């Protein structure tokens, strides 16, 4: 692989970047001081930076490059589509072939009667669409007051005002994103941090039943929908106890509220099933999709909608909603090619049958490490809870995230992208990662955990709160 594709020294690139590029979720001043890592190339599961350093990307970009980097077929699909029809919209009774083909394909792949797609440019936009869909649906059914959507603390549903409101990230909501009216949050099913003395199973039931309590408190005639990620991703790969989802499904059924599964991360194979909803056996009325739909090669998101909801919306005259890039032909062509590869190369089956179990065994064994209290893994998404005291599940005395950030730094130094959320370490590698690459991932993770352990002991940070 030719390692350096740019013709400017890294420092110059970093200086220009810090001077003119405002980064998401990044402290600008820190960026100016340290400089961003400049990624120049990628192939398979490996990134290359502007210094020629190779890094194993155990986050698949931002949880999205499911089929891995460097697939020429997707570049060809994009180029072909750009030459033929680079853009046309889907408003006002027009359509085009890629959007028709992708919609039919998604209807075929999606569970049950999720046969209709409303397109967006991203997961955030798709969740904004969902707010509109749910409220318009209930209004059309003669229940305009049924406009409350229940979500969860520490959920991530995007960065727009709608997505940020649905999400439960106070760090976002405190920065100019006050929660829009009629969104209500219940607690998350994070047993490690919040389970106290309850067993995981009892805790799962308790957290699910908060939904029922909220419905009673708010009024069953006011609540239109519940939205959740099958496995919380950005919140720290929080895998709910086994009792959680069946109870949530029971409550949604009993009160007739719409269930929205945000499959932006879980969708398209991440859990070892095509959708996280299938992994948990839940039956959403709407699924949010993005990321793995195109493996991140082109921006695209959407809402997969069931027959009944689509029927009500379609019968309601114009749905006054849409984005210039809803159903963008190039993104649709890329997504179609991505889905062809996922299917024909049996990538999800391989995760389910072979590489997922292989990774799970090694990942779970990391609980032998003195720093690791809990290892969680579903398919190709995993987390480790770092702790100074396993038996009590204690947090560190240092501010939340101090140890996690140290560990992420060690990972970077060892050629591994493993992220931290607070003091949880998380992975979400490309689904095509093979067993020898999994060995490398684990070796580098262990090395980084060892170095973190040494460092925090030396700095007096290995102390329970
Ligand atoms: N829903 C879920 C479940 C997500 O994970 C979105 C919606 C929003 O999608 P867009 O395409 O608008 O970003 C996401 C996105 C992180 C991180 O730090 C996670 C996401 C995005 C950026 C960073 O883990 N998830």
Per DSSP, 23 falls in state P
**Per-residue pLDDT at 265:** 98
Distance in angstroms (rounded) separating the CA atoms of residues 56 and 39:
12
**Per-residue pLDDT at 28:** 85
**Per-residue pLDDT at 437:** 98
Quick: pLDDT tens for 160-185: 999 999 999 999 999 999 999 999 99
**Per-residue pLDDT at 175:** 94
Q: Which two tokens stand for residue 138?
A: 């209930």
Return the bridge partners of 386, or none.
372
Nearest-atom number in ligand 1 for the CA of 263 is 3
φ/ψ bin of 33: left (φ > 0), alpha (ψ from -120 to 50), beta (otherwise)? alpha
Distance in angstroms (rounded) separating the CA atoms of residues 291 and 263:
9
Asked whether residue 4 carries a pLDDT value surpassing 50, the answer given is no
Per DSSP, 168 falls in state -
Whole-number Cα distances in Å, 29 to 13, 19, 159, 408: 16, 10, 21, 20
Distance in angstroms (rounded) separating the CA atoms of residues 265 and 293:
10
Asked whether residue 2 carries a pLDDT value surpassing 90, the answer given is no
Q: How far is the CA of 78 from the centre of ligand 1 (A)?
A: 24
Mean pLDDT score across all residues of the chain: 96
Ligand 1 binding pocket, CB closer than 6 Å: 62, 122-124, 127, 156-158, 163, 229, 233-234, 262, 264-265, 288, 290, 301
**Per-residue pLDDT at 122:** 98
**Per-residue pLDDT at 30:** 85
Q: How many helices (H) and strands (E) does the chain have?
A: 18, 15
E strand or H helix that includes residue 117: strand 114-120
Distance in angstroms (rounded) separating the CA atoms of residues 450 and 455:
9
Phi, psi of 105 (to 5 degrees): -65, -45
Whole-number Cα distances in Å, 219 to 138, 208, 211: 15, 17, 12
**Per-residue pLDDT at 31:** 86
- Of 262, 182, 260, residue with least CA distance to 222: 182
Task: Kindly tell me the burial class for residue 440, based on how many C-beta atoms sit within 10 Å of its own C-beta (0-12, 13-18, 19 or more).
Answer: middle
- Of 388, 340, 302, residue with least CA distance to 124: 302
**Per-residue pLDDT at 55:** 98
pTM (predicted TM-score): 0.97
Asked whether residue 29 carries a pLDDT value surpassing 90, the answer given is no
**Per-residue pLDDT at 5:** 53
**Per-residue pLDDT at 6:** 63
Q: What is the mean pLDDT of residues 265-277?
A: 98
- Minimum CA distance residue for ligand 1 atom 1: 157
Q: How far is the CA of 216 from the centre of ligand 1 (A)?
A: 31
Q: How far is the CA of 261 from the centre of ligand 1 (A)?
A: 14
Q: How far is the CA of 234 from the centre of ligand 1 (A)?
A: 7
Q: Are 282 and 261 in contact (CB under 8 A)?
A: yes
Distance in angstroms (rounded) separating the CA atoms of residues 35 and 9:
12
**Per-residue pLDDT at 8:** 87
Quick: pLDDT tens for 290-342: 999 999 999 999 999 999 999 999 999 999 999 999 999 999 999 999 999 99
- Of 252, 274, 270, residue with least CA distance to 380: 270
- Of 233, 353, 266, residue with least CA distance to 66: 266
Distance in angstroms (rounded) separating the CA atoms of residues 66 and 271:
11
Distance in angstroms (rounded) separating the CA atoms of residues 135 and 150:
13
Distance in angstroms (rounded) separating the CA atoms of residues 399 and 113:
47
Of 62, 129, 271, the residue with max ligand 1 atoms within 8 A of its CB, to mutate for a pocket test, comes to 62
- Minimum CA distance residue for ligand 1 atom 23: 62
What confidence tier does 1 reach under pLDDT thresholds 50, 70, 90? very low
Distance in angstroms (rounded) separating the CA atoms of residues 220 and 231:
26
Distance in angstroms (rounded) separating the CA atoms of residues 273 and 41:
29
Q: What is the mean pLDDT of residues 143-159?
A: 98
Quick: pLDDT tens for 82-102: 999 999 999 999 999 999 999
Distance in angstroms (rounded) separating the CA atoms of residues 141 and 387:
50
């Amino acid at each position: 692989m030719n390692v350096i594709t740019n013709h400017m020294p890294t420092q110059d690139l970093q200086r220009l970047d810090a001077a003119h590029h405002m980064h998401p979720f990044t402290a600008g001043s820190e960026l100016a001081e340290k400089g961003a890592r400049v990624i120049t190339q990628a192939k398979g599961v490996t990134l290359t930076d502007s210094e020629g350093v190779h890094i194993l990307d155990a986050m698949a970009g931002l949880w999205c490059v499911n089929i891995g980097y460097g697939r020429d077929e997707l570049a060809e699909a994009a180029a072909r589509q750009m030459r033929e029809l680079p853009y046309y919209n889907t408003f006002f009774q027009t359509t085009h072939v890629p959007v028709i083909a992708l919609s039919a394909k998604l209807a075929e792949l999606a569970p049950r009667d999720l046969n209709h797609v409303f397109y967006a440019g991203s997961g955030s936009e798709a969740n904004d669409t969902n707010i509109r869909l749910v409220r318009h649906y209930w209004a059309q059914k003669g229940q305009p007051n049924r406009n409350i959507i229940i979500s969860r603390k520490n959920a991530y549903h995007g960065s727009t005002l709608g997505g940020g409101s649905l999400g439960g990230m106070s760090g976002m909501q405190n920065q100019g994103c006050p929660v829009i009216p009629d969104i209500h949050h219940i607690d998350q099913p994070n047993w490690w941090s919040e389970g106290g003395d309850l067993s995981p199973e009892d805790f799962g039931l308790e957290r699910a039943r908060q939904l029922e309590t909220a419905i009673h408190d708010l009024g069953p005639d006011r609540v239109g929908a519940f939205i959740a990620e099958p496995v919380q991703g950005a919140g720290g790969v929080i895998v709910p106890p086994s009792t959680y989802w069946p109870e949530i499904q029971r409550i949604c059924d009993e009160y007739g509220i719409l269930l929205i599964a945000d499959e932006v991360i879980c969708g398209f194979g991440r859990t070892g099933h095509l959708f996280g909803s299938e992994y948990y056996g839940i039956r959403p009325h709407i699924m949010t999709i993005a990321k793995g739909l195109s493996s991140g090669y082109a921006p695209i998101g959407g809402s997969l909608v069931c027959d009944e909801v689509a029927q009500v919306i379609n019968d309601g005259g114009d749905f006054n909603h849409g984005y210039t890039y809803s159903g963008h032909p190039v993104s649709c062509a890329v997504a179609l090619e991505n889905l062809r590869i996922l299917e024909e190369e049996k990538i999800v089956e391989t995760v389910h049958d072979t590489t997922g179990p292989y990774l799970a065994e090694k990942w779970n064994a990391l609980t032998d490490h003195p720093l690791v209290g809990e290892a969680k893994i579903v398919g190709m998404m995993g987390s480790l809870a770092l702790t100074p005291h396993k038996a009590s599940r204690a947090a560190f005395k240092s501010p939340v995230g101090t140890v996690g950030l140290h560990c992420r730094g060690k990972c970077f130094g060892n050629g591994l992208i493993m992220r931290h959320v607070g003091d949880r370490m998380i992975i979400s590698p490309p689904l095509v990662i093979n067993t020898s690459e999994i060995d490398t991932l684990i070796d580098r993770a262990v090395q980084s955990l060892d170095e973190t352990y040494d460092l925090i002991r030396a700095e007096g940070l290995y102390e329970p709160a």
